[in-house]
Every structure is written in structure tokens, then in C-alpha cells.
Amino acid sequence: MDFEAHTPPGIRTGEWEEDITIASGGSWGYTTALHAKSVNQVVGLLVDAVSKNGTLLLNISPKSDGTIPQDQQDTLLGLGKWLETNGEAIYDTHAWIQFEEPGDQHIHFTVKGEDLYAIVMQKGSLPNVLISSLAKEKGIQGKVKSVTMLGSNRRLRFKQDASGLEVSHLDEVPSDRPFALRITGLKMNPSTYTPSGDPQP
């Protein structure tokens, strides 16, 4: 199943892919007016697709002599740097029971094994993150044992109550940089991947 230049509205079972272009104006080939999407824009599209069980195919637009314009290189290198730190929350993952946390921080979820990843797209100026989807009365099985930020070995301080899972000590994280939290101790749902790409019944 293939979606061109748009992401489906929710989690899909089976195998699917989204095709996007690196050009901010929608062109699939090189034009003199082409400007590349920012790193954060491409990360956002990637995270949205993966959190819904999909994969992302990114088209680039080289010039006629085969060279890749500098702004496209900058976006690709920035995406690679982000994945060096946060790829654990992307590669070999599958969707959780919901793909996104309601609210302004645009938190997306992925699962690998028994680890839940919360990818925070917009932390803002707050020193903490509240994940209301992990409130105790939501019926999530298990108990949160640890929360760490990918790229750091330091365990973060957290508390889980009726309002959700609140993670603190995030003051040093830039407000405009997407980052991923690894949450352990909860019972995770299995993957819905099917080799044929057909949805599971």
C-alpha cells in the first residue's frame, strides 16, 4: 500500500509506505526555485509515518550534472545526525495502541520489544513532559521502571499518577529539537506486520 505525499490519518496494520519529496514546494525534480524541507520537517514526516506502522521513501532532486544542492545535503546530513541518536526509536519498531499524544508537544509513540518510545516533536520552554496517555487509570499493563533519553545514559526523574507520566530534568534539551524517550516496564502490544502487506484480521 503506497501513499504519495500524504500520511493516512491513523495506524494501519500490514505494510505500507509514504512517498515524499525533499522539496518544500512539492516538486519531485530539480528546479532553480527549489528549496529543501528543514530537518525538523522531514523528521516530523518520518516519525508520523513510523508511529502509524509505515515507512518513508524520501525523494531528492539532484541537478542535471548529478550534484545535490547544498540545502538538500544539509537536510540529509541533519536527518542522518538525528537518526544516529534517535534511530533506536525508528528502526525495527512498530505502532503502539495509539500513534500520538493529544496536545501541543506532538508526542508520537513507537514500540520495540517491551520498550515504549515517546518521540517529543515540540517540547517548548517547559522543563518537563507530561504524557497523559500513560495515566494510571488508562489500564496500561505494567509499571514504569525507568525513563531515559536516547543519546544520554542518565535516568530521568519521573512520576506516574492519574494525570499521566510526568518526566522532568529536561531543562537542557533545546526547545526546537525533537528527541526520544525510552520507557521501560510496561507491557507492550505485538507487531501487526504481515509479510504480504495485507492487514491482519
**Domains of the chain as residue ranges with CATH:** 2-89 (no CATH), 100-186 (2.60.40.1180)
Q: How far apart are CA 170 and CA 157, in angstroms?
A: 9
What is the layout of strands, in order, in the sheet containing 16-21? Answer: 2-4, 16-21, 54-59
β-pair type (115-120, 179-186): antiparallel
Which pTM value belongs to this model? 0.93
Which amino acid makes up residue 151? G
Q: How far apart are CA 131 and CA 24, in angstroms?
A: 31
Q: What is the mean pLDDT of residues 65-78?
A: 97
Reference 22, options 71, 63, 91, 94; nearest CA is 71
Q: How far apart are CA 62 and CA 39, in angstroms?
A: 18
Instruction: Report residue 126's pLDDT band, with 50, 70 and 90 as the boundaries.
Output: confident
Q: How far apart are CA 187 and CA 12, in angstroms?
A: 21
pLDDT for 15-28, tens place per residue? 899 999 999 988 89
Integer angstrom CA distances of residue 144 from 14, 52, 103, 159, 185: 29, 23, 22, 9, 5
Instruction: Report residue 194's pLDDT band, with 50, 70 and 90 as the boundaries.
Output: confident
Instruction: Report residue 198's pLDDT band, with 50, 70 and 90 as the boundaries.
Output: low
